[in-house]
Amino acid sequence: MLKETITVNHLKLRNRIVMPPMATGKADHGAPDDSLISYYAARADATALIIVEHAYISPEGMAHEKQLSMADDSVIPAYTKLTAAVRERGAAIFAQLNHAGARSKGSGLPAISPSGIPVRDDTAEAVPMTLDDIAHVTECFVAAALRAKAAGFDGVEIHSAHGYLLNQFYSPLTNHRTDAYNGQTLDGRTRLHREILQAVRAAVGKDYPIAIRFGACDYMEGGSLKEDIPEVSRLFAEAGADLLDISGGLCGFVLNGISQPGWFSELSRPAKENVQIPVLLTGGISTADEAEQLLQDGAADLIGVGRAMLQNPDWSVQAIG
> How far is it, in rounded angstroms, from Cα 62 to Cα 98?
8
Task: Return the amino acid letter for 229.
Answer: I
DSSP assignment, residue 123? S
164 belongs to the catalytic site: yes
Q: For helices 186-204 and 131-150, what crossing angle results, to 10°?
A: 40
Within a 13 Å sphere around the CA of 137, how many CA atoms are in the beta-carbon half? Answer: 32
The DSSP string of 39-96 is HHHHT-TT-SEEEPPPEESSGGG--STT-EE-SSGGGHHHHHHHHHHHHTTT-EEEEE
- The active-site residue, picked from 40, 56, 79, 164, is 164
Distance CA 26, CA 53 (A): 10
257 vs 275: CA distance, rounded Å: 29
Spatial distance between the Cα atoms of 29 and 216, rounded to a whole number of angstroms:
32
Cβ atoms 37, 30 nearer than 8 A: no
DSSP per residue, 256-298 = TT--SS-TTHHHHHHHHHH-SS-EEEESS--SHHHHHHHHHTT
Closest CA to 183 of 119, 114, 113: 114
- Active-site amino acid positions: 164
